[in-house]
Structure 1
Amino acid sequence: MSHYQRIACLCTEAVETLYLLGAEHLIAGISGFTVYPPEARQHKPKISGFSSGKLEKILAVEPDLVVAYSSLQSDIVKDVADAGVDVQHFNHRDLAGVLRMVRVLGSLTGKEREAATLAASLQAAIDTAAAESAANDAAGLPRPLVYFEEWPDPIITGIGWVGELIELAGGRDAYAEHAPFVRAKERIVADPLTVAARAPDLIVGSWCGKRFRPETLLERDGWQQVPAVRNFARGHVIEIKSADILAPGPTLLTRGLPQLQALIRQWHADRAAGALA
C-alpha cells in the first residue's frame, strides 16, 4: 500500500505524534507554534502559524498531505483542498480523540503497529491514573476543586480534555459545565467574582501562547480569600505550559497529566499535615 511521503503539519500535536511513530522523515513542514519535540524546530521548515498561514508557503514544501486541527484552520484547509492537495483535518476535543488521531496518522503513514503501541501506552497512562483516583476515592480522600484558566482577559476556562485530565488526576473541575463547549467564547466567565465564589482549592493557569502570571490572581478583587490563593506560597497556584496541556496530542498524557497529579498529591499531603490556610 502506498502512503503519504511529504506531510505538512499545521498543528503541533501532529508533529509530536509523527515523531513518536518514527515517521519524522515524512514531515515536510511544521507550524511555527510547534514545541515538541524541540528538534523539529531545528530541522523542519516553518510554514504557518496556528490560525493563519499563506497557501504559497505551504505549497512550497510540495506536500502530498496537509494535517490540520480545529475550525480555526478551516479557511486555510479549504484553500489547500482547492489547490488539489489531500487534507486530514482533525477536530477532537477529548482524550478518546487523541487516541483516534494517533491511529489515523499511523494508518496514513504505514506506521499502524507503532500507532497501536503508542495508543496502548497512552491508554495505560489513563488507566493507571484512573485506578489511583479510584483508590483515593475508596479511601475517603476528598477531591480538590481545581480551577483551570486558559486566558485572563476575558477569563476563559478549560476545554473538554482539560476537565478529563483533572478528573483523572483526582480532582474536580471547577467549571465542568463549560467543558463540553467547543468554542472559547462559550467558556468565557464575565465576572471574576463568580470564580472566587466557587472557592477552588487549586488553580492552574495555562495562558495559550503567553506566560501565566500568578500574581495577577492576587490582584483580583475578592480573590484573596480563595483557598488556592491563601495557599499560594505552598504551590497551590501553578502554571502548566500551554504546550503541555492545550495541544491535543500525546503530551496531554505524558506531560500535562503528571503535573496535575503532582499538584493534587501535594494538596493531599498539605491537608494531611494540617498545613492548609
Structure 2
Amino acid sequence: MRVISICPSNTELLDYLGKVDTLIAVDDFSDYPERVKRLPKVGPDLSIDVDKIAGMEPDLVLASLSVPGMEKNIEALDKRRIPYIILNPNSLEEIANDLETTGIAIGEKSLGKQKASEFKNETASFKAGTDSSYRPSLYWEWWPKPVFTPGKENWLSEISELAGARNVFESEAGASVQTTWEEVRSRNPDHICLVWVGIQEQKMRPELVKKRPGWKELDAVRQNRIHVLPESLFCRPSPRLLIGLERLNKMLAKE
C-alpha cells in the first residue's frame, strides 16, 4: 500500500497500527512519530496540494473533516478520483472504530480489529481509578479569542472523566463550543488547561490569562493552577490521547 495522510491524528492512528511504513507523504503538521518528519509534505491541512498527491499516485489517502474548511480537500480528491477514506472521530469509541476502518482500508482487517481492542482495553484500565467522589473541574481552552472549548461530545470530556475530573463545559452539547471569558469566569474552574490548537507550549503566555477581566478571582488563578499542556497530546483524536491522560493524571495528583 502507498498511503498519504493529510491530518496529524490520522498519521498517529496509522502509527498505532504499526503501519507507518506504508506512508509516502504527510501533511505539513504531522510530526509524530519522528520518522514522518522526513517524508515529503503535501501542505497544511486546510491547503493540501492535491495535484501533488495525484502525482504520487497513492493507493489511499487518509482524509479528515476535523477542522472546518477541510471539505475542499475532499472535493479535490473526488475531482481527481483519488481513493480516500474520511476519519473524523469525536470520542474515544470513535477512535477505536477508526482503527478498524483504517485496518480494513489498508487490507489489514484483523490487525485493525486487534488494535481497536487494545485501545479500548487501555482506555478501560483508567476507569478503575476514578472512584473518588471529588471531581475537580477543568476548563480546556482550545483558542483564546474567540474562545473555543470542548463540549459534551468530545474526547476531552472523556479524558477529564477518566482522570477523575470533569470538563466544566461538559453540560454543553456538541464537540466544540464557542463561549466567552465572562462565561468561563461564571463557571469558576478549579484548573485552567491551555491547549491552543497548533501553538507550541513555549509560545503561550499564561500570565496574560490572569489579566482577563475578573479572572483574578477565579479559583484556578488564585491557586496558580494554570497549566500549559502540549496540544499534540490533547487536541488530536488519536491513541496518543492516552499519553495525555497519563500526564493529566500526574498533574492532578500533585494538587
Unaligned runs of 5+ in 2: none
**Conservation of the 8 A alpha-carbon contact between 1:48 and 1:58:** no
Unaligned runs of 5+ in 1: 268-277
Bigger share in helix: 1
Structure-2 residue corresponding to 1:114: 111
Q: In the alignment, does 2:254 pair up with 1:259? A: no
**Alpha-carbon distance in structure 1 between the residues aligned to 2:9 and 2:221:** 32
Structure-2 residue corresponding to 1:272: none
**Conservation of the 8 A alpha-carbon contact between 1:6 and 1:26:** yes
Q: In the alignment, does 2:193 pair up with 1:204? A: yes
**Alpha-carbon distance in structure 2 between the residues aligned to 1:202 and 1:38:** 31
Aligned-pair distance for 1:119? 2.1
For 1:69-93, what per-residue CA distance to the aligned partner results, in whole angstroms no more than 9, with x for missing partners?
A: 1153211111112211111012221
Q: Once superposed, what is the RMSD of the aligned Cα atoms?
A: 1.7
Q: In the alignment, does 2:187 pair up with 1:181? A: no
Normalising by structure 1, we get a TM-score of 0.84
Specify which of 221, 225, 228 is matched with residue 217 of structure 2: 225
**Conservation of the 8 A alpha-carbon contact between 1:35 and 1:243:** no
Normalising by structure 2, we get a TM-score of 0.91
**Conservation of the 8 A alpha-carbon contact between 2:16 and 2:239:** no
Structure-2 residue corresponding to 1:167: 161
Letter in 1 for 2:118: S
**Conservation of the 8 A alpha-carbon contact between 1:48 and 1:57:** no
Specify which of 145, 151, 172 is matched with residue 153 of structure 1: 145
For 1:231-275, what per-residue CA distance to the aligned partner results, in whole angstroms no more than 9, with x for missing partners?
A: 21xxx221221111111111112x2211221222222xxxxxxxx
Aligned-pair distance for 1:230? 1.2
What is the aligned length?
A: 248
For 1:92-132, what per-residue CA distance to the aligned partner results, in whole angstroms no more than 9, with x for missing partners?
A: 21111100111111122233343333323321222121110
Q: Identify which range, 55-64 or 142-151, moves more after superposition.
A: 55-64
Specify which of 166, 188, 193 is matched with residue 182 of structure 2: 193
Q: Identify which range, 63-72 or 202-211, moves more after superposition.
A: 63-72
**Alpha-carbon distance in structure 2 between the residues aligned to 1:64 and 1:29:** 12
Moved over 6 A (4+): none
**Conservation of the 8 A alpha-carbon contact between 1:146 and 1:172:** yes
